[in-house]
Amino acid sequence: MTSRFPGYDVLAKRNTLSWNEPTRRAIDKRIAVPPGPRFFSVTEWETLCAVCARIVPQPRDRPPVPLPAYVDEKMFENQSDGYRFAELPPQGEAWKTGLAAIEAEAQAAHRAGFHELAATEQDALLRRMQKGELDGPPWRGMPSALFFNKHVLHDIVSAYYAHPTAWSEIGWAGPASPRGFVRLDKGMRDPWEATEAYPGKEDKARRENQRVV
Amino acid sequence: MKTTAPPLARLMHATRDDVRHSPRLREASQPIEPVAATPAAGPVRLLHAAAAILGGSVLFDSAVEHYRGSFQNRAMFLPPISAMLNIGSSAHGIASRDTDAHPLRSLSYVASLAIGALGAGFHLYNVTKRVGGFGWQNLFYGAPLGAPAALALSGVVGLAADRIAANEKHTGEATLLGLPAGRTLAALTSLGLMGTVSEAGLMHFRGNFQNPAMYLPVTLPPVAAGVLAGAALRPTRRSRKAAKTWLGVTSVLGVAGVALHCYGVSRAMGGWRNWRQNVVDGPPIPAPPSFTGLALAGLAALTLIERASR
């Protein structure tokens, strides 16, 4: 996959004026996420890893963002979103129920663990969950579509875009602390922001992205 | 005519007869006639200085603000260039022994007047094309309408200097636009001060007057503008003295504003270390000296009024 922001690494800003000590501390802590699992059982963890790989497939040419570890950490430390849908149990319970149910659906349909299925089979199962078609006893009355939207998508995608690897990929400059943004109109960028590569101008963007600090 | 001075020793020992018979010595012994300095030379120089200060304010302010705008439009290079030319012209006007107008100088001033007017039009277009059109939000955050006016004012003040000098030299009377120079200039300066007050008021209102010092440029210069207009309408000794005091206060305010804006930059997140953001995003450091420039123009007007009333 060709990068839209070639040569841009948001972590190169770590020791520049763009970031201060609290910012560095926060991001260091985020990168140093414990590998897990601390909250989930081994079976749940295997299922979670397989779900994450289907929700946000990652390129092989760079270290992946450890998505299951972030979901596990969020549940382990009970970092709540501050709200809960009335139809859903508390987030930890929802995830445990959901993962067990996904695993049970895989066993029922394919006589294999979810993580052992082919990607297409996994996708088919996830799609049925997204449409709310899964409502057997393992779900314990939890609406599968709501679980998919409010936890599977929300927690995994949030974890992905909270990681510097994703920031480099989308050309985001990282936390605006202390240095924020000045040029806010469309098509404008500050000198400390990534340069987007336009077709045929990739090398120019790559050169400019070496200088982004 | 160029003459070489005879050696001092020869002059000192020359007898009356020597002088009578030597044309060179006769010429050299004549009392030196001073270069005919017109009475307006002082205020004219002050006006050039005022134009230079206004030009300096515009040069740095427009350079920083248009850099922020990434010079998206080529025309955004014009104001810093024009301001620079005005500074050169004003420096020439101050240094020049000849108190007459100078065509190139006047051309630079006229150009800045035109570019200022054009810029005001561009800035108005920028404000109206934004979502929501002409309204407070866009007046606050769009291109500032008052900034190009400062460039035009630099041109007006410089032109006034040239016109007053030329009229005085050729007609013996310090006039401007066919009117008494001092009073006309005082009126122009009062208007310019009030325009600058509006700009500062708009920006400081946007900044919620979060520092009490932000009230100063919307309270002191209007008084100066008022008493200056008063001195123009009723030129008495007392009115001139009041105007002089308040214009002095206003000129100091312009300098103090620079220091206060520097303080403002230091207060923004990251402070001066984060200057690449905060100088661009924080209070404009080069803007306040516009008050100093206009105050000097006002002082020049007062001197001219005083001379006319003698």
| B17-68 per-position pLDDT tens digit | 655 666 665 555 555 544 445 667 899 999 999 999 999 999 999 999 999 9
pLDDT of the residue at B34 = 46
* Chain A residues closer than 8 Å to B273 by CB: 17
* Cα separation of the two ends of chain B: 36
Q: What is the pLDDT of residue B21?
A: 64
The pLDDT-based confidence of B1 (bands split at 50, 70, 90) is very low
The answer as to whether A24 is a domain residue is: no
| 3-state DSSP assignment of residue A174 | coil
Bridge partner residues of B180 (DSSP): B175
User: Is it the case that residue B243 has pLDDT exceeding 60?
Assistant: yes
Q: Write the DSSP assignment of B28-42 as a string of letters.
A: HHSPPPPP---TTHH
What gap in Å lies between CA A164 and CA A158, rounded to an integer?
12
The reply to whether A101 and A190 lie within a common domain is no
Asked if the structure places residue A204 within a domain, the reply is: yes
pLDDT for position A33? 96
A23 occurs within a structural domain: no
Residue A1 lies in a domain: no
DSSP code, position B175: E
What is the number of structural domains in chain A? 2
Residue A89 confidence (pLDDT) = 97
Whether the complex's predicted ipTM is more than 0.85 is answered with no
pLDDT of residue B85: 97
Same domain, residue pair A135 and A205: no
CA-closest candidate to residue A140, choices A86, A179, A93:
A93
Q: How many Cα atoms within 13 Å fall on the side-chain side of residue B210?
A: 10
Residue range A129-153: average pLDDT?
96
Q: Are B269 and A190 inside 8 Å of each other by CB?
A: no
Contacts of B270 in chain A (CB under 8 A): 17, 20, 178-179
Tell me whether residue A183 is in a domain: yes
Q: Is residue A29 included in any domain, yes or no?
A: no
Is residue A114 domain-shared with residue A189, that is, in the same domain?
no
pLDDT more than 90, % of chain A: 86
The nearest CA of chain A is from the CA of B233 a distance in Å of 46
- Four-residue CA torsion sign, B98, B100, B103, B104: positive
pLDDT band at B3; cut points 50, 70, 90:
very low
Query: What integer pLDDT is reported at residue B101 of this predicted model?
Result: 85
Rounded to the nearest 10 degrees, the angle between the axes of helix B146-171 and helix B181-206 is 170
Residues of B in contact with A192 (CB under 8 A): 276
B276 and A191 in contact by Cβ < 8 A? yes
- Determine the distance in angstroms separating the CA of B134 from the nearest CA of chain A, rounded to an integer: 18
pLDDT at position B37, please? 55
- pLDDT of res. B169: 87
Residue the block writes with tokens 């009073």: B183
- A101 with A200, same domain: the answer is no
Q: Name A19's bridge partners.
A: A178
pLDDT band at residue B9, thresholds of 50, 70 and 90? very low
B64 lies within 8 A of chain A by CB: no
Q: B150 with B57: CB under 8 angstroms?
A: yes
The reply to whether A84 and A103 lie within a common domain is yes
Given CB atoms, is A13 within the 8 Å cutoff of chain B?
Answer: no
Let me know whether A197 and A149 are in one domain: no
pLDDT in tens, B187-208: 999 999 999 999 999 999 999 9
Residues A50 and A152 reside in one and the same domain:
yes
Contacts of A11 (CB under 8 A, 6+ apart): A164, A168
| A60 and A14 assigned to the same domain | no
Are A71 and A43 members of one domain? yes
The pLDDT assigned to B183 comes to 94
pLDDT at B235: 85
Report the distance separating Cα A151 and Cα A75, nearest Å. 11
- Over residues A127-136, the mean pLDDT reads 96
Shared domain check, A191 and A156? no
Question: Distance (Å, rounded) from C-alpha B169 to C-alpha B37?
Answer: 9
Neighbours of B156 (CB within 10 A): 25
Q: Is the confidence at residue A80, as pLDDT, over 90?
A: yes
Q: How many CB atoms lie within 10 A of CB B129?
A: 11
pLDDT of residue B11: 47
If residue B176 lies in a helix (H) or strand (E), which one and from where to where? strand B175-176
Which among B69, B273, B277 has the least Cβ separation from residue A180?
B277
Average pLDDT of chain B, as a whole number: 89
Mean pLDDT of chain A: 94
Average pLDDT over residues B176-189: 93
Which of B131, B276, B280 has the highest number of chain A CBs within 10 A, making it the mutation to test binding with A? B276
pTM of the model: 0.80
DSSP A178: B
Q: What is the arithmetic mean of pLDDT over B158-184?
A: 91
B174 contacts B40 by C-beta, under 8 angstroms = yes
Contact B68 A180 (CB under 8 A): no
* pLDDT tens string B77-130: 999 999 999 999 999 999 987 778 889 999 999 999 999 999 999 999 999 999
Give the pLDDT confidence score for residue A186 in this predicted structure. 81
**Residue B124: other Cβ atoms inside 10 A:** 16
The parent domain of residue A192 ranges over 10-18+173-210
What percent of chain B clears pLDDT 90, i.e. is strictly above it? 77
Q: What is the pLDDT of residues B156-168, one digit of tens each?
A: 999 999 999 999 8
Q: What is the pLDDT of residue B173?
A: 86
* Candidates A179, A183, A188; nearest CB to B270: A179
Do A90 and A140 lie in one domain? The reply is: yes
Instruction: Please tell me whether residues A152 and A196 are part of one structural domain.
Output: no
The pLDDT value given to residue B160: 95
Chain B residues lying within 8 Å of A178, measured CB to CB: 269-270, 274
* B309, pLDDT greater than 80: yes
pLDDT tens digits, B216-236: 999 999 999 999 999 999 989
* Cα–Cα distance for residue pair A139/A134, rounded to 1 Å: 8
Q: What is the pLDDT of residue B27?
A: 59
Instruction: Give me the mean pLDDT over the B279-305 stretch.
Output: 96
